[in-house]
């Protein structure tokens, strides 16, 4: 990893605060910062993010000082003021997206001022990242707070290498689609070339939302946009294994263990460590512990629960309420079961220094990790790493991403209080040999797929995704474009064949002729090209001849309609020679039946073909119906002459002899041209490309595999190229 790596995340790994008027710099705790720290060792990197202090509290001089100090630590600050922090961070990020992504729709707040600020702040992060974006840079954007950044960057520079990783779960599409700004969020993330999630389930849910909400299909996890490919994959985050493995028996840890009564007593310890967040299931865990004590009073004075909760997001109401709930439950349970010299629960509401955390991991006989939802959960992995004696029992919620990897934990449904209470009992009474067997297997996994491996994997796949993009596609580069323009200029007998929908005009929702009329600009452009008497312009389309005629009344533009069914030249239409009545009679009822059973489908009948359009059909249904329709049509036709074809959201039935290749082969072969340009986007245009002489300029619009010599990204790029010809 020698190229520049730009990490973009909401929080920097360094927190700045002001104590007695002096600036203080501290490394901050939290899943993400633990994760990315290790990357800095292996790449020339810069980390862009918020330093954790409101800019209202800072003078310009202090801001400069912070920027300079952070630069020394490989960081670059994005300063946010209180209003921005309130609406972007506590608001849209933590009161809208966070609850929805964790299946808490009741906690979600929809407030348009939050959304406005989310967009604003995302733009600030994008601009800051751009300052470092050299040609070879890789930009890695993190998490739900910055979902718009990839697209914002892409819009500014389409060639950037951008990755995005989501640290939370991605919810099922039925939950995701509750978000008012769902389209913009998906489009935002799709600005990246690689999108990573912790588990394959999240990948699957993301792809389902992309399909349902935006109608983008994917092939084996690669989303095909009009002009780019976006790869998605699962990268389960790991931990810095050695740090926890070594940490659990360093000298400081041992001295902590000696000072605490807890470590000398014969009591069994059940440990619970989290950020105080309602997704972590702390109240539910307390209920399960209470039930366990009710069921097994013999464990009173023999087992204690140590609960450590790190204060988190105190500005958000749901978190204030959570703290109150936890504290009520702790005091109620302690009130019920305590004696003068003993309490069943030790509760701390504070962050723990690393050594104390490790001492607790090493001491805990049972680790209770029962989030109601969690993207991954690093605490579970840290406990496993810290168990150098290879014993101990992990009770893990199957709602955490970590459950996919740590299958040797006691897996529980955190909502099933009785099951969790039973698991506590099972954990406290499990035989040592069983404990070691399970723990060693989990240690093997956690020690192999570490945080370093995770980060390297992601960055490597990000580089590969760019290579794939560059080698797969035959993008027309600037130099090739110059040669094309030069050849055009030098020639005097030019044939220019242009497909219409998807090439000169973006697709409309329906095939309805009125919705796809050429704009005045496009008409003017074609007129200018046609006025040059050295040019022969032909529009070649699958549309009806009446439609093409209506669109282009200019006599000098040649028209080929219905993929060659009709040809218009010198003011006259000629017709393809075929009797269609027999086969049309057979397939029409089938097509009509499939329109009736498929909301949104439209049947278009032309002189020589049928087109069953499904652009407006709900994508999953469209997929099932189009496959069934193809099979049924092929069965009914029973002839070799008529083909069933799949194009851009369309199933077509037509003669195999009638295609764009046949339609233009004769014309192109005439030895009268010294320059041929053919542009199209669909499978029907592939026939045209194949029929062209090898020195013709054939150009496909989009990312599909093509027989054309070159590819171009979009309709806008086609129009730009035509403009350059003029």
- Which of 6, 35, 152, 462 lies at the binding interface for ligand ADQ (CB under 6 A)? 35
Please report the sign of the dihedral spanned by the C-alpha atoms of residue 572, residue 573, residue 576, residue 577.
Answer: negative
Nearest-angstrom CA–CA distance, 510 and 602: 8
Q: Which is nearer to ligand ADQ, 16 or 451 (CB)?
A: 451
d(CA 144, CA 352) in angstroms, rounded, equals 26
Site for ligand ADQ in 243-282 (CB under 6 A): 273-275
Q: Which of 143, 355, 499, 682 does the annotation list as catalytic?
A: 499
Angle (CA) 308-414-345 rounded to 5° is 30
Which residue is at the shortest CB distance from ligand ADQ? 31
Is residue 382 near ligand ADQ by the rule CB under 6 A?
yes
Tell the smallest beta-carbon distance from residue 145 to ligand ADQ (Å). Answer: 12
DSSP secondary-structure letter at 318?
H
Integer Cα distance of 619 and 625 in angstroms? 10
Cα separations (Å) of 463 from 4, 41, 130, 131, 139?
12, 18, 18, 21, 11
Residue closer to ligand ADQ, measured from CB, 137 or 455? 455
The reply to whether 377 sits near ligand ADQ by the rule CB under 6 A is: yes
Q: Which stretch binds ligand ADQ (CB under 6 A): 26-34, 387-395, 440-448, 593-601?
A: 26-34
Closer CB to ligand ADQ, 83 or 448, in the complex: 448
- For ligand ADQ, the closer of residues 193 and 377 by Cβ is 377
Q: Could you say whether residue 465 binds ligand ADQ (CB under 6 A)?
A: no
Q: Is 495 helix (H, G, I), strand (E, B) or coil?
A: strand
Residue 620, classed as helix, strand or coil, is helix
Q: How far apart are CA 95 and CA 110, in angstroms?
A: 8
Which range of residues in 18-26, 378-386, 534-542, 563-571 is near ligand ADQ by CB under 6 A? 378-386
* Shortest distance, position 30 Cβ to ligand ADQ, whole Å: 5
**Is residue 444 classed as helix, strand or coil in its secondary structure?**
helix
Judged by CB under 6 A, does residue 619 bind ligand ADQ?
Answer: no
> Which of the ranges 30-38, 185-193, 619-627, 664-672 carries the binding residues for ligand ADQ, by CB under 6 A?
30-38
437-474 core/surface letters (b: 16 or more CB in 10 A; e: else): ebbeebbebbbebbbbebbbbbbebbbebbeebeeebb
When the beta carbons of 308 and 590 are compared against ligand ADQ, the nearer one is: 308
| Shortest reach from residue 273's CB to ligand ADQ, in Å | 5
- Tell me: does residue 310 bind ligand ADQ (CB under 6 A): yes
User: Residue 32 or residue 420: which is nearer to ligand ADQ going by CB?
Assistant: 32
Q: Within its chain, how far is the Cα of 31 from the centroid?
A: 20
Stretch that binds ligand ADQ, among 204-212, 375-383, 433-441, 454-462 (CB under 6 A): 375-383
Restricted to residues 384-403, the positions that interact with ligand ADQ (CB under 6 A) are none
CA 287 to chain centre: 36
End-to-end CA distance of the chain: 45
Taking the CA atoms of the chain, what radius of gyration do you get in angstroms? 32
DSSP state of 302: T
Q: Considering the complex, what minimum distance in angstroms separates the CB of residue 276 from ligand ADQ? A: 9
Q: Which is nearer to ligand ADQ, 34 or 209 (CB)?
A: 34
Burial of 144 (0-12, 13-18, 19+ CB in 10 A): buried
CA 349 centroid distance within chain: 35
Contact status: 29 vs ligand ADQ (CB under 6 A): yes
Residue among 668, 642, 641 nearest 654 (CA): 642
DSSP annotation of 403:
G
Specify whether 509 is catalytic: no
374 counts as binding ligand ADQ under rule CB under 6 A = yes
Interface map 546-575 toward ligand ADQ (x if CB under 6 A)? ------------------------------
Give the span between the Cα atoms of 44 and 616, in whole angstroms. 47
Number of residues that bind ligand ADQ (CB under 6 A): 24
Distance (Å, whole) CA 241 – CA 221: 30
Q: Which of 43, 46, 308, 677 binds ligand ADQ (CB under 6 A)?
A: 308
Q: How far apart are CA 663 and CA 38, in angstroms?
A: 61
**CA atoms of 64 and 609, how far apart (whole Å):** 69
What one-character DSSP code corresponds to residue 509? S
Residue 300 contacts ligand ADQ per CB under 6 A? no
Nearer to ligand ADQ among residue 360 and residue 595 (C-beta): 360
Answer for which of 93, 168, 193, 684 binds ligand ADQ (CB under 6 A) is: 168
State residue 62 phi and psi, 5-degree precision. -65, -35
C-alpha span between 270 and 428 (Å, rounded): 8
**Closest separation in Å from C-beta 454 to ligand ADQ:** 9
Under a CB-based contact definition with an 8 Å cutoff, are residues 151 and 191 in contact? yes
Q: How far is the CB of 12 from ligand ADQ (least distance, A)?
A: 16
Does 379 bind ligand ADQ (CB under 6 A)? Our answer is: yes
Q: Which of 179, 195, 333, 378 binds ligand ADQ (CB under 6 A)?
A: 378
Residues 318-357 vs ligand ADQ: string with x where CB under 6 A? ---------------------------------xx----x
Taking the complex as a whole, the smallest distance from the CB of residue 263 to ligand ADQ amounts, in Å, to 18
Q: Which of 151, 154, 167, 243 binds ligand ADQ (CB under 6 A)?
A: 167
Phi, psi of 154 (to 5 degrees): -60, -40
List active site positions: 499
User: Which residues sit at the interface with ligand ADQ, rule CB under 6 A?
Assistant: 29-32, 34-35, 167-168, 237, 273-275, 308, 310, 351-352, 357, 374-379, 382
């Amino acid at each position: 990893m020698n190229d520049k790596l730009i990490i973009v995340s909401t929080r920097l790994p360094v927190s700045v605060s002001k104590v007695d008027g002096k600036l203080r710099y501290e490394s901050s705790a939290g899943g993400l910062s633990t994760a990315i720290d290790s990357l800095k060792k292996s790449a020339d990197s810069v980390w862009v993010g918020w330093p954790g202090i409101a800019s209202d509290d800072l003078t310009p001089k202090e801001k400069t000082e912070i920027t300079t100090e952070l630069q020394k630590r490989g960081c670059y600050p994005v300063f946010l003021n209180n209003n921005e922090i309130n609406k972007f961070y506590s608001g849209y990020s933590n009161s809208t997206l966070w609850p929805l992504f964790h299946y808490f729709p009741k906690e979600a707040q929809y407030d348009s001022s939050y959304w406005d600020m989310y967009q604003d702040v995302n733009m600030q992060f994008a601009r800051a990242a751009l300052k470092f974006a050299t040609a070879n840079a890789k930009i890695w954007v993190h998490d739900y707070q910055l979902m718009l950044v990839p697209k914002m960057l892409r819009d500014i520079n389409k060639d950037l290498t951008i990755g995005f990783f989501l640290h939370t779960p991605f919810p099922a599409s039925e939950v995701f689609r509750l978000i008012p700004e769902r389209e913009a969020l998906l489009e935002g993330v799709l600005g990246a070339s690689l999108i990573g999630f912790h588990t394959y389930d999240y990948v699957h849910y993301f792809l389902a939302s992309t399909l349902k909400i935006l109608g983008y299909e994917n092939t084996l996890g690669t989303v095909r946009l009009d002009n780019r490919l976006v790869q998605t994959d699962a990268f389960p985050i790991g931990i810095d294994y050695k740090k926890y493995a070594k940490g659990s028996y360093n000298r400081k840890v041992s001295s902590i263990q000696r000072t605490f009564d807890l470590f000398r007593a014969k009591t069994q310890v059940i440990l619970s460590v989290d950020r105080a967040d309602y997704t972590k299931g702390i109240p539910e865990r307390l209920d399960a512990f209470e039930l366990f004590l009710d069921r097994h009073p013999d464990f009173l004075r023999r087992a204690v629960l140590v609960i450590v909760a790190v204060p988190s997001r105190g500005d958000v109401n749901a978190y204030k309420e959570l703290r109150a709930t936890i504290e009520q439950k702790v005091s109620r349970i302690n009130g019920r079961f305590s004696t003068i010299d003993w309490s069943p629960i030790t509760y701390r509401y504070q962050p723990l220094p690393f050594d104390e955390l490790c001492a607790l991991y090493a001491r805990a006989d049972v680790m209770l990790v029962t989030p109601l939802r969690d993207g991954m959960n690093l605490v579970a992995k840290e406990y496993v790493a810290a168990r150098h004696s290879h014993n101990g029992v992990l009770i893990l919620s199957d709602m955490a991403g970590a459950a996919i990897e740590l299958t040797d934990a006691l897996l529980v449904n955190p909502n099933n209080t009785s099951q969790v209470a039973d698991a506590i009992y099972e954990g406290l009474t499990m035989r040592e040999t069983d404990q070691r067997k399970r723990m060693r297997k989990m240690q093997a996994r956690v020690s192999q797929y570490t945080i370093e491996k995770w980060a390297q994997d992601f960055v490597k796949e990000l580089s590969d995704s760019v290579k794939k993009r560059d080698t797969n596609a035959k993008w027309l580069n600037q130099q090739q474009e110059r040669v094309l323009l030069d050849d055009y200029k030098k020639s005097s007998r030019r044939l220019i064949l242009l497909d219409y929908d998807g090439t000169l005009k973006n697709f409309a929702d329906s095939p309805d002729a009125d919705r796809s009329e050429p704009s005045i600009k496009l008409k003017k452009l074609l007129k200018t090209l046609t006025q040059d008497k050295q040019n022969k312009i032909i529009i070649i389309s699958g549309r009806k001849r009446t439609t093409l005629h209506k669109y282009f009344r200019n006599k000098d533009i040649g028209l080929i309609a219905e993929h060659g069914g009709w040809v218009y030249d010198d003011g006259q239409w000629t017709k393809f020679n075929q009797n269609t009545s027999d086969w049309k009679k057979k397939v029409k009822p089938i097509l009509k039946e499939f329109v009736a059973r498929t909301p949104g489908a439209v049947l278009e009948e032309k002189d020589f073909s049928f087109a069953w359009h499904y652009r407006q059909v709900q994508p999953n249904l469209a997929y099932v119906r189009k496959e069934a329709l193809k099979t049924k049509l092929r069965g009914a036709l029973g002839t070799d002459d008529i083909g069933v074809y799949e194009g851009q959201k369309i199933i077509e039935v037509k003669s195999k002899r009638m295609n764009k290749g046949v339609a233009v082969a004769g014309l192109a072969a005439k030895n009268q041209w010294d320059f041929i340009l053919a542009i199209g986007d669909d499978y029907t245009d592939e026939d045209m490309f194949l029929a062209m002489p090898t020195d013709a300029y054939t150009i496909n619009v989009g990312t599909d595999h093509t027989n054309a010599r070159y590819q171009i990204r979009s309709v806008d790029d086609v129009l730009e190229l035509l403009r350059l010809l003029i």
